[in-house]
Every structure is written in C-alpha cells, then in structure tokens.
Chains A and B, each alone.
Chain A
Amino acid sequence: AQSVTQPDIHITVSEGASLELRCNYSYGATPYLFWYVQSPGQGLQLLLKYFSGDTLVQGIKGFEAEFKRSQSSFNLRKPSVHWSDAAEYFCAVGTGGGADGLTFGKGTHLIIQP
C-alpha cells in the first residue's frame, strides 16, 4: 500500500520569500503524484501533478514541484509567496489506475507573515 509523509505540520514564511514544502512517498511502482491546496472553507484545488517525463513540473499560481525518485520525494516550491498563498497544502499519491482513490499526506499549514 502507498503512503505519503509531509513532515512539516506548520510552516511560516514571510511574504515575498521563497517556499519549499516537503513530501515523501512510499509506493512500489511508478507513482502518480499530486499537490492540492485547500483554502479555509474551500474544496481542494489541484496545483500540479506528475505522471512521467520531466521531473520538474510546473503548476498553477507559480508553483512547481520536483520529483526525485532516489529520494522518494516530491517537494513543492514557489520562488516568492503572496499573502493569498496561506492555506493547507496536501501531497497525494495515486496508482494511476483510476479505480483506487488517492492517498493523502497529513497536510502542511502555510502561514504568511507580512
């Protein structure tokens, strides 16, 4: 069975500073990896996804993530955060079969300091 670890429960970043949110996964085959964002009282919005190919993937809102197979990681980055980026961020892994659902990490709560 697959699993996802997000080691940082909370992260505080100053507005305009760079951001990196960590995600490690465990899955025996090639993973399908996702980052979702959940703003207060909102549903989940997909930021980006990795299936195969280029290990650096670009997403919406200026986010990117890098897949590193050797480290079983899929860290999310943004060069300069905005106050509107304050939210809960979830990393997820899927099998790609379309029938198994996703396994989510516990989430990282991002706080933006003015």
Chain B
Amino acid sequence: SAVISQKPSRDICQRGTSLTIQCQVDSQVTMMFWYRQQPGQSLTLIATANQGSEATYESGFVIDKFPISRPNLTFSTLTVSNMSPEDSSIYLCSVEEYRGFAFFGQGTRLTVV
C-alpha cells in the first residue's frame, strides 16, 4: 500500500496570503487527488492531478484559487491562494491503486485568520 506524506500538517495563515501544501508518495502513481474537508463536513474532491498535464478541477473549484503542480510521478503540490476564513479546512492528498482503492495522507489542517 502507498504511503503518503503531507506537509505541513497544520498551519495558521493570514487572510490574503497563499499556502502551498506538499504531497509525497513512496511509489510512482499516475493520478493524485486533492480533497477538501470543511469543518464538520465530508470530503469533496477538488481536482485530479496527472503528471505532465494540467489538473482537472471539479465543479466549484478553479485553477486560479487552487493551482496544482505535478512535476513527477511521486509528488504534487496544492496552493490555496488569496485565502479567506472560508478556506479553513483540512486538505487531503490521495492516490488510488487498483480498482479505485484510495489511500490518504494525514491531511493539512489550515486555519485562516
């Protein structure tokens, strides 16, 4: 099973600033996924990151707000741009193995003040 490391594990940021979250996987994977979990809510898929191409964003999420990089098969970053308190959430990186079996990182708990 894949082991996923996310950095930072938590952060408190000022509104209007940006935060870049890193996700490192211990094996090569084709697709990486970024999810958001707002306080007390379920997980919502933000985007799918495929190495060598632009990320595919779900409805309600845009590249200008959540730019994603995928420079190689083991690493991805998600940036939360121009943050507001509404962006306070847990952001999780995920990879899917055979038959959609998904593994998750520990998440990044973001608080915007």
Contact = CB atoms under 8 A, between A and B. Distances in A.
Nearest to A33: B100
Contacts, number: 66
Nearest to B45: A101
Interface in B86-111: 92, 94, 96-107
Given A90-B42, A106-B42, A98 B104 contact: no
A54 to B, nearest CB: 15
Contacts of A105: 42
A112 B15 CA distance: 38
Contacts of B44: 104
B77 to A, nearest CB: 18
A99 B104 contact: no
B89 to A, nearest CB: 14
B43 A104 contact: yes
Interface size range of chain B in the complex: 20 to 34
Contact of B100 (A32, A43, A107): A32
A51 B99 contact: yes
Nearest to B59: A1
Given A44-B92, A101-B94, A94 B100 contact: yes
Nearest to A49: B101
A100 B48 CA distance: 8
Contacts of A95: 100
B45 to A, nearest CB: 4
A106 B67 CA distance: 26
Contacts of A51: 99
A99 B42 CA distance: 20
A32 B42 contact: no
A101 B99 contact: no
A-B residue pairs, 3 tightest by C-beta: A94-B100, A43-B106, A101-B45
9 contacts: A43-B92, A51-B99, A94-B100, A95-B100, A98-B97, A99-B50, A102-B100, A105-B42, A106-B42
